Amino acid sequence: MRRWRSIAAAGCALAAVVFLAGGMKAQAQGPRYLVALSDLRTARDYIESDHREAFEHERHHAVDAINKAIEEIKRAAWDDGKQTKYAPPAHPDTDPWHPMREAVHFIDEARAHVMEGYDRPENQGLRERAVEHMDEARRALWDVIQMQRH
């Protein structure tokens, strides 16, 4: 009898823990890594759709910086258990400067998404490094856009 009472008490305790844990909200991911990844991939697609030779160096530099940012963000997202394989299709356009302006826009969006909320200490500065790479890509593209105006 004593044994059944102990088992029943343990079962009730376990049921209470499961009930209370089920009602608690899961801790949300602070930075919106997956949205930022999508924005960065879209920015990279826009940059790669521009084939003018005059800006080959700047384009290559911006794509390298975006790839570095993507790798940092993917590492942080993987640490949080997120799936990072989705990439949206490229957006075609006929304006020759549109890809550069859109790439800057999507880099800015990705930066904002990454900076939202609390960065987990386990990420060990991944967010800051990703933002640095995004800023570097943005500067390279902005230099090209400014050259177009002169």
Residue at 20 is within a domain:
no
For residue 41, what is the domain's CATH number? 1.20.1260
For residue 2, is it within any domain?
no
- If one counts the domains in the chain, the total is 1
Q: What's the pLDDT tens digit per position in 23-48?
A: 433 333 455 778 888 889 999 998 88
**Residue 26: per-residue pLDDT:** 34
Taking only the tens place, the pLDDT of each residue in 94-123 is 667 778 888 899 999 999 988 886 777 777
Cα(109)–Cα(112) distance, rounded to whole angstroms?
5
pLDDT category of residue 52 using cuts at 50, 70 and 90: confident
Domain that holds residue 67: 28-149
Buried/exposed code over 39-51 (b: 16+ C-beta within 10 A; e: otherwise): bbbbbbbbbbbbe
What pLDDT, on a 0 to 100 scale, did the predictor assign at position 148? 74
Q: pTM for the whole thing?
A: 0.60
Using CA of residue 105, residue 106, residue 107, residue 109, what is the dihedral sign? positive
